[in-house]
């Protein structure tokens, strides 16, 4: 009984993360401003981190818990770099 409930919760989590990924990707493509696109890239990175964490829980391996930390660091550095570039370019 407990196993089927946890599988159902994991499937729901994957479904919601997939919906968030699709919506964020749509905002990335459509975004009227560059700020919307930067925010969408950050959201996509967060959703990917969620996918990794839910997958790690699903297969019951804690080794994958380090991957979201690395993704968040790379995402933060990328956001700061793009923001700095845009600040210097557009003043």
Domains of the chain (ranges; CATH) run: 2-90 (1.10.287)
| Contact by Cβ (8 Å): 47, 17 | yes
Supply the pLDDT for residue 23. Answer: 96
In the DSSP assignment, the letter for residue 61 is: -
The pLDDT tens digits along the chain (91 residues) read 567 888 899 999 999 999 999 999 999 999 898 889 999 999 999 999 999 999 999 998 989 999 999 999 999 999 999 989 988 888 6
Q: Report the C-alpha gap between 71 and 53 in whole angstroms.
A: 12
According to DSSP, residue 33 is labeled S
Are 13 and 54 in contact, with CB atoms under 8 Å apart? yes
């Amino acid at each position: 009984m407990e196993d089927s409930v946890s599988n159902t919760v994991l499937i729901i989590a994957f479904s919601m993360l997939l919906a968030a990924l699709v919506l964020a990707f749509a905002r990335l493509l459509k975004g009227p401003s560059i700020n919307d696109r930067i925010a969408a890239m950050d959201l996509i990175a967060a959703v990917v981190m969620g996918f990794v964490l839910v997958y790690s829980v699903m297969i019951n391996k804690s080794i994958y818990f380090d991957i979201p930390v690395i993704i968040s660091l790379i995402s933060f550095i990328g956001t700061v770099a793009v923001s700095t570039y845009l600040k210097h370019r557009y003043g």
